[in-house]
Structure 1
Amino acid sequence: MVNIIIVDDQEIVREGLKMILSLHEEINVIGEASNGEEALELLTYTSPEVILMDIKMPVMNGIEATKWVKAKYPDIKVIILTTFNDSEYIFTGLKNGADGYILKDSGSQEIMYAIKTACEGNILLNPKITREVVNALNSVKNTGIENLRNEHILQLLTPRELEVAKGIMEGKSNKEISSDLFITEGTVKNYVSRMLEKLELRNRTELTLCLQKSL
């Protein structure tokens, strides 16, 4: 059972999401909030695994709320759910630790897949959004990404690390990658940590986005 909180300033959106999620018995909506501040208060007495977070809300927007959630509750997965496919919002949300980013007009199966992917420690980006993220990366400063040419990135990684990287790009979990490569899940995590260090990246989100430009 996955416990979920829905954060959106529009009641009709929250009700619609609850209706969609209620069709899946493995999902349990344990709370809802109309802005980021309410969401943070809600977290003082609830324990969700996943938060579906809108971006544009009064009092505290979803980007700022995501930053606070990930700082205080790093194990909670935050999926940005919005109609705004703007590169500034997208990239800032991911930099603040968002675990996925899908559009509000996504279907039930895509929403469920985003939740499953986030819970497995992976990232799901809507294809429309991926293009915006790559464009945003091109203008980002001081992340360690802009100074690495694609060829240089490939030279930095060992053949085994490249195999793990390809698994990440295919959206596979650490468990699935370990099964494919006949290594332990812990070894996969070690490879990911080494790649982050080599490429001067901070987290799996930046690693995934960096690999999208190189593999």
Structure 2
Amino acid sequence: MKIKLLLVDDHQIVLKGISFFLTMQPDFEIVGEAGNGQEAVERADKLQPDVILMDLNMPVMDGIEACGRITAQYPHIKVLVLTSYSDQSHVVPALQAGASGYILKDVEPEQLAEAIRSAHKGNIQLHPDIAGALLTQFKPQGQGHDEAEGIFMGDGQVTDFQPAERHESLTPREKEVLQLIAQGLSNKDIAQSLVVAEKTVKTHVSNILGKLQLSDRTQAALYAVQHHMNGGTKS
């Protein structure tokens, strides 16, 4: 079965360029195109694509609003943002709107194809520059990369992880720890905040990663943002 794609961008030359490359992939089928968010919502309803490539800055309705409407009504449709905006004011709202990933338009064509395939499987896709920007937001101020706690992300590849909603299995304390991780606190800071031993925090973090089936703190922080569990960020 081919992956059905809906392409959304208000620039025809961009649509044509993306379409030309993707039609060369044997496992993709482009079922439609749209020039703004409102058209994307309407065509998602009619065409029922598997994955939507969504631009953000468009007339009539922007990509974030369109993403929110589509994912709310059709949770089986994956929306992969493809844009030139890398700032957090665009990234975080897009993820919170239900986007299955955030890719910049300077990505290599082959990486875009792989991102589509992975998003279709249910993984969250992040351009390496986006992952880095979010890391800066989550990382405790005044600290460097902490590989021991899984904060460093460095191979320059598109990052992905499973976003399935598993946080209902977390205990109230584990949810509290997850929120503090997303605010950029280290284990030591969390221990001080909760007035517990640092060893206890490490146990909670290990349990959180296991229950959410994530590999490190970065993925946990991104999970918390997408599921509105971050409780704001540190100033």
1:21-52 CA distances to partner (integer Å, 9 max, x unpaired)? 01101100000000000011112211100000
Name the % identity: 31
- CA contact 1:53–1:62 (8 Å) conserved in 2: yes
For this pair of structures, how many residues does the alignment match?
178
TM-score between the two structures when normalised by the length of structure 1: 0.71
Cross-structure match for 2:179 = 144
Task: State the alpha-carbon separation in 2 of the partners of residues 202 and 105 from structure 1.
Answer: 24
Compared CA separation, residues 164 and 72, structure 1 to 2 (3 A): closer
Query: For residues 137 and 57 of structure 2, what CA distance do their matches in structure 1 show?
Result: 19
Provide the residue aligned with 1:57 in structure 2.
58
Q: Which residue of 1 aligns with 2:215?
A: 166
Residues 84-132 of structure 1, C-alpha deviation per residue, up to 9 Å, x if partnerless?
A: 1111101110111111111112121111111111112111111111122
Question: Which of 140, 147, 156 is 2:204 aligned to?
Answer: 156
Larger radius of gyration: 2
> Residue type of the partner of 2:9?
D
Q: Secondary structure at the match of 1:17?
A: helix
What amino acid does structure 2 have at the position aligned with 1:124? Q
CA 1:101/1:206 → structure 2, altered by over 3 Å: closer, same or farther?
Answer: farther
Residue 79 of structure 1: SS of its match in structure 2? strand
Once superposed, what is the RMSD of the aligned Cα atoms? Answer: 3.3
Match of 1:92 in 2: 93
Q: Distance in 1 between matches of 2:100 and 2:80?
A: 5
CA contact (8 A) 2:96 2:227 kept: no
Are 1:49 and 1:77, in contact at CA under 8 Å, matched by a contact in 2? yes
Q: CA deviation at 1:55?
A: 0.6
Distance 1:149 1:23 in 2: 45
